[in-house]
């Protein structure tokens, strides 16, 4: 069981939620959920959206800490955290440079591959390259090299927006169009089939520790945006239905991702376990969803922790880090 030991020193927290990304609604739901949990833990909380008044607020009425719960590019590419550092306000979460590396899936995969972690083979294709080299020729080369089935996704983004499973070569073109609608670069990977699990990692000041893995079984077989945020569309099992060996390996991979990418405080790694028992790293999220249907709160509960208490400990750790 994960325990927290941080001495709390913060009393007023600004939760950032909303923004203008495709994941605005998810961010708002996360913000409301965490704000309520923090209040129950005795913390004074104000939920703020990104707007022209935010910097004035942070300068003139400084909170003890900021908790960014912005999803999508605006919240996970490090830019907002750069601003928080400019105004010298403590915040929960990873540094901007680490956010940028984690948010770019091809870069994160390359880092984890160098760290000895299995990650699916694939190729990252900017839209311009795809168009200028000839879409049909490029797609033929992908199928010949990577093989079928494939999964196509935006290279930068979350909540499975723009992701498509491709089982026939004829469906690849449509999948590429869908991915490009969410970003300039598409990541085409070999589809790993098996058990999908999510493993959160937390660090309240005594080193990163994996929470219990959550296994995910979506009604349609694909854990897409609808399956993630529609109550009843997905069945979760926590702790995941895994052997002790596989549970330990999933925890090891999640912590390895957290450490190799230089992340802080909280992350969530998405993994696949194939039929031979190999654990594959797919991606890591530096601002994971904390809604009623998100996996992190499920893992927090399975670890015997209270979400509000844990978030308050992360806030306290961030304040102490800033003071040091």
Q: What amino acid positions are annotated as catalytic residues?
A: 23, 159, 229, 268, 270, 283, 285, 289
CA dist 61 to 47, 65, 87, 194, Å? 14, 12, 12, 50
As given in the structure block, the two tokens for residue 157 are 């983004």
218 bridge partner residues:
234
Give me the helix-helix angle, 244-260 and 105-114, nearest 10°.
Answer: 110
CB distance 68 to 92 below 8 Å? yes
- Residue 55 makes CB contacts below 8 A (sequence gap 6+) with 83, 87
Q: What are phi and psi of 188, to 5 degrees?
A: -110, 120
CB distance 191 to 149 below 8 Å? yes
CB distance 317 to 156 below 8 Å? no
Dist. CA 244–CA 136, nearest whole Å: 46
- Residue 250 makes CB contacts below 8 A (sequence gap 6+) with 197, 199, 210, 213, 240, 242, 271, 273, 279
């Amino acid at each position: 069981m994960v325990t927290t030991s941080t001495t709390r020193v913060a009393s007023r927290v600004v939760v950032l939620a909303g923004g203008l990304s495709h994941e605005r609604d998810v961010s708002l739901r996360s913000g409301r959920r965490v704000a309520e949990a923090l209040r129950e833990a005795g913390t004074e909380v104000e939920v703020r959206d990104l707007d022209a008044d935010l910097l004035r607020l942070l300068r003139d009425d400084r909170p003890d800490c900021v908790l960014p719960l912005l999803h999508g590019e605006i919240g996970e590419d490090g830019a907002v955290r750069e601003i928080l550092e400019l105004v010298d306000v403590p915040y929960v979460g990873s540094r901007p440079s680490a956010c940028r590396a984690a948010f770019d899936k091809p870069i994160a995969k390359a880092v984890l591959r160098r760290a000895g972690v299995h990650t699916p083979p694939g190729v990252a294709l900017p839209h311009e390259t795809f168009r200028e080299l000839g879409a049909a020729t490029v797609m033929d080369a992908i199928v010949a090299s990577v093989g079928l089935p494939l999964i196509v996704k935006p290279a930068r983004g979350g909540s499975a927006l723009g992701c498509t499973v491709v089982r026939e070569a004829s469906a690849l073109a449509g999948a590429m169009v869908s991915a490009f609608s969410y970003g300039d670069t598409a990541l085409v990977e070999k589809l790993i089939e098996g058990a999908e699990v999510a493993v959160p990692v937390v660090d309240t000041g005594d080193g990163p520790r994996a929470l219990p893995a959550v296994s995910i079984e979506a009604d349609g077989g694909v854990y897409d945006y609808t399956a993630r945020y529609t109550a009843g569309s997905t069945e979760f099992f926590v702790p995941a239905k895994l052997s002790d060996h596989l549970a330990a390996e999933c925890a090891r991979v999640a912590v390895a991702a957290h450490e190799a990418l230089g992340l802080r405080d909280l992350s969530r790694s998405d993994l696949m376990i194939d039929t031979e028992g190999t654990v594959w790293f797919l991606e890591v999220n530096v601002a994971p969803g904390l809604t009623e249907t998100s996996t992190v709160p499920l893992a927090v509960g399975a670890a015997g922790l209270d979400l509000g208490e844990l978030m308050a400990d992360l806030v306290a750790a961030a304040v102490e880090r800033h003071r040091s």
